[in-house]
Amino acid sequence: MALFRRTVNYWPDNKCAKAFWSQHELPPYRKLLADTTSQLDPKAGECWLDLGCGRGMLTRAVWEKSNGTVGKVIGLDCAAANDRAYDKLRATLSPPPRQDQVRFMAADFSNGLSDFANASIHGIVSGLAFSYAESYSEPLGRWTTAAYDRLLKETFRILVPGGKLVFSVNVPEPAWGMVAIDALKGALGTRRPHRYLLKAWRIWRYGGWLKREARRGRFHYLPLETIRTKLLEAGFRDINAEVSYSGQAYVISCRKPSAADRKAA
């Protein structure tokens, strides 16, 4: 059982964090970012959570879509290196935020979201992160979806009634090579094509690790209908989805029912 559980974990490593930071220049990620951003509707004074935030590209999207009027955006990620990335992010936002308006929190969401009170968040956005909520069962001797299921329930718990969840997850058996090939298109016409080659290679390298772990049951690249079922079981409604990221990810939006919804039902 111990041999089965033994695995490499790159998530807390700065090199891994920076590899995924570098995606922002690549065409597949730009399309995914645009598709995700189009679903966001932050309003003045609201508190939003960027779950698995990385360097904060979706945090920036929330800030810009609200024209800097959102009350607070919190980026949460297990990689401590992202704290420095958020320092740089705050310096580039317009209008400039107060220190507490855009902040980073280091935490492992596989353990839940106990730092957040019930109905304390107006909106949650997440880019390619939910699938990596991991839990290992010692009695069963295998990885399970318990942490993934708990994370969905936790996001529902902390959202205000009527609050929105927008997230992307990879499709089953994602073809990371397709992402890398499409990423190479960014090299055309540039004066430093080697940068794009390096970024594409990093995505392919870490993508191979992610897919191997998913096949073991550690990570969860689930069919869309399975995700829909889990969202409904958690309590979400108004579930919509589209394909993005070179065909290798779903962008999903859903909502926690409001008091009016419950009354109408």
**76, pLDDT greater than 60:** yes
- Is 265 a member of any domain? no
Pairing of strands 249-255, 237-244: antiparallel
Give me the domain span that covers residue 44.
2-257
CATH number of the domain to which 172 belongs:
3.40.50.150
The model's pTM: 0.88
- What 8-state DSSP symbol labels residue 170? E
* Residue 226, domain member (yes or no): yes
Average pLDDT over residues 12-26: 56
Q: Across the chain, what does the average pLDDT equal?
A: 87
Which has more confidence, 182 or 164?
Answer: 164
- Residue 264 domain-assigned (yes or no): no
Identify whether 70 is part of a domain: yes
Number of domains composing the chain? 1
Q: What is the DSSP letter of 171?
A: P
What are 208-224's pLDDT values in tens digits? 788 889 999 999 999 99
- 236: in domain: yes
Q: What is the DSSP code string of 102-167?
A: EEEEE--GGG--TTS-TT-EEEEEEES-GGG--EEETTTTEEESHHHHHHHHHHHHHEEEEEEEEE
Rounded to 5°, the CA angle 254-124-101 comes to 150
Within a domain: residue 45? yes
Helices (H) then strands (E): counts for the chain: 10, 9
The answer to whether residue 150 is domain-embedded is yes
Q: Note the pLDDT tens digit of each residue in 78-134.
A: 887 788 889 999 999 999 999 799 999 999 999 999 999 999 999 999 999 999 999
